[in-house]
Structure 1
């Protein structure tokens, strides 16, 4: 028997919901305070995935083990990119705010 605290998901919900263990809240969305971290993880993950793929292909070409080389370099790049995004994003936002003319209200 499945414990009542575990909420099962069907295939249609698989991309939108997380299996929730020991939660009485049926809404699986994150608290807004986690938005900068989620944004940083998604941005750094996708950008490092793309850039490391291009760099790996340029370095090794269409090699038989290209994908294993790519994943290895991507994980290393992501480990560097994620904290860098968290640190640099607020600084870059301030610089952009100074460079862009604010609309008059």
Structure 2
């Protein structure tokens, strides 16, 4: 019989049945997920605007998405430290 976990959900060691990555992985996982989602959405909007809603849309969109992600992910890795410093300069830190 399975007993309910006494740990809060954020403390569990798996996600979708896979072991969670170590905390130090957050430095590249966050930009990875952000770049995937942002390029997914922006490339769709851009492709629909240029090509319209045609049967070629999925092929054109996935091609545009792949290219934009290849550029976006390394760019995020490079600029994220600068953006963090700029944010810290603009936003008051809690006491």
Q: TM-score, normalised by structure 1?
A: 0.73
**Aligned match of 2:49:** 58
The one-character-per-residue Cα deviations of 1:53-80 (angstroms, maximum 9, x if unpaired) are 0000001001111011000100000000
1:43 aligns to what? Answer: 34
Q: Kindly indicate whether structure 1 or structure 2 has the higher relative contact order, using CA contacts under 8 Å at least 6 residues apart.
A: 2
User: In the alignment, which residue of structure 1 is the partner of 2:16?
Assistant: 16
Provide the alpha-carbon RMSD of the alignment: 1.2
Cα offset, 1:103, TM superposition: 2.7
Q: Could you say which structure has the higher strand fraction? A: 2
**Stretches (4+) displaced over 3 A:** none
Q: How many residue pairs get matched?
A: 81
Structure 1: 5+ residue stretches without partners? 1-14, 19-27
Superposition TM-score, scaled by structure 2 size: 0.80
